[in-house]
A = this chain, B = another copy of it.
Amino acid sequence: MTTPNRPGEFALIERFFKPLSRTTPFVRHGIGDDCAVLSPAADDELVLSVDTLVEGVHFPRHYAPAKLAVRSLAVCVSDLAAAGAHPEAFTLALTAPELNESWLQEFSRVLAAEAERYGVSLVGGDTTRGPLCLSLQVMGSVPRGQALLRNGARPGDLVYVSGELGGARAALDYLESLSPTEAQQSYLQRYHSPLPRLALGQALRGVANAAVDISDGLVADLGHILRSSGVGATIYTDRLPVAMGLRDVAQGVDYALSGGDDYELCFTVPGEYQAHLRALEKTLALPLHCIGEVIDGAGLKCLDAEGVVYETAAGYQHF
């Protein structure tokens, strides 16, 4: 039952992960107990999200531990951005085939830097033996009743997306490339280091009727808003912010519509907020694109520049 010549789980957590656990007004008691103890402010609600990343499915085999740390935390924090929340804390369930100290050292070093960047404290976790797999749960706070949800879109709302789409999907074509071009490097950057749109999400509280982050692809994720809200939408391919360099590529529009992993926000807003959003994109230095509108009914219709229905894949399916 014992493996006395190797450091056990507790020594490992102590050494590599406990430094990521900090006490804050929100985190009264972090790592090192059966439970963490969190104290949300009385006027706040707590939002939380879970993401699991499996080697060979959600990240490449033999993925560098530094890249894994960056990507896995960003992917989770992006869910908080979509809810308009302020990041506070996270837990990490790490399953690994063996105790590889140099891997853990690099992973935890970069995870610490990323956690610092987002202001999240590690409040718990679990390390187990098995195929490489991470399950992260992030928690954030949001003023009571103000979390952005998927179910508030209304007919007449405008559909917006932030930033650019398709780059992360294009990166999958170059993951193994030894000498990527500059454009390819920017796609790879999108894939490896997504930028959760936290400031945008927080600024959309009280403005957007519904929001999601684009993890599975625009069509799939906007589809969540439509189903949850009981509405339909029309979007236009010529308004899509296709990532630079992909607009002239045959699959550019498909990548923007159906490729996942961009982690931009898609949201719906009443028309009267258009001027507000134009001001916001200057404040945030982040382009915001109106790509269509919410309509009565159900389903997503995608029209090309000639007004013809554009057929596309349905986004990434988990199974």
Interface residues of A in 9-35 (CB under 8 A from B): 9-10, 12, 28-29, 32-35
Q: Is A234 an interface residue (CB 8 A)?
A: no
Assembly of this chain: how many copies?
Answer: 2
Interface residues of A in 78-122 (CB under 8 A from B): 79-80, 82-83, 85, 91-93, 95, 98-99
* Interface size classification for chain A: 35 or more
Knowing A38-B46, A57-B129, A91-B137 are in contact, say whether A8-B52 is a contact too (CB < 8 A): no
Knowing A126-B135, A147-B29 are in contact, say whether A49-B34 is a contact too (CB < 8 A): yes
Q: Give the Cβ gap from A148 to chain B, nearest Cβ, in Å.
A: 8
Cα A270 to Cα B39 with chains together (Å): 28
Cα A87 to Cα B128 with chains together (Å): 24
On whether the beta carbons of B35 and A82 are closer than 8 Å, the reply is yes
Other-chain contact of A12, B95, B98, B319 (Cβ < 8 Å)? B319
On whether the beta carbons of A128 and B58 are closer than 8 Å, the reply is yes
For A228, the chain B residues whose CB sits under 8 A away are 32-33
For A80, the chain B residues whose CB sits under 8 A away are 35
Knowing A6-B319, A45-B39, A213-B34 are in contact, say whether A137-B50 is a contact too (CB < 8 A): yes
Knowing A80-B35, A93-B93, A319-B3 are in contact, say whether A40-B46 is a contact too (CB < 8 A): yes
Cα A224 to Cα B29 with chains together (Å): 15
On whether the beta carbons of A28 and B45 are closer than 8 Å, the reply is yes
Contact indicator per residue, chain A 276-314, by CB within 8 Å of chain B (1) or not (0): 000000000000000000000000000000000000011
Q: Is A186 an interface residue (CB 8 A)?
A: no
Q: Which residue of B lies closest to A12 (CB)?
A: B319
On whether the beta carbons of B32 and A150 are closer than 8 Å, the reply is yes
On whether the beta carbons of A313 and B34 are closer than 8 Å, the reply is no
Most buried by B among A47, A131, A135: A135
On whether the beta carbons of A38 and B34 are closer than 8 Å, the reply is no
Q: Give the Cβ gap from A253 to chain B, nearest Cβ, in Å.
A: 15
Most buried by B among A35, A47, A149, A213: A35
On whether the beta carbons of A35 and B49 are closer than 8 Å, the reply is yes
Knowing A50-B125, A54-B128 are in contact, say whether A319-B99 is a contact too (CB < 8 A): yes
Q: Which residue of B lies closest to A82 (CB)?
A: B34
Other-chain contact of A52, B2, B40, B56, B126 (Cβ < 8 Å)? B126
Q: Is A36 an interface residue (CB 8 A)?
A: yes
Q: Write 13 A-B pairs (CB below 8 A) sorted by A numbering.
A: A1-B316, A9-B317, A29-B149, A34-B82, A35-B49, A35-B79, A36-B47, A39-B144, A50-B137, A91-B137, A98-B319, A99-B319, A135-B135
A→B interface (CB under 8 Å): 1-4, 6-10, 12, 28-29, 32-40, 42, 45-58, 79-80, 82-83, 85, 91-93, 95, 98-99, 123-131, 133, 135, 137, 140, 142, 144, 147, 149-151, 211-213, 224, 228, 258, 313-319
Additional 11 contacts, C-beta under 8 A, given A6-B319, A10-B224, A38-B46: A1-B315, A4-B314, A12-B319, A35-B47, A35-B140, A48-B123, A51-B93, A52-B128, A54-B128, A57-B129, A135-B135
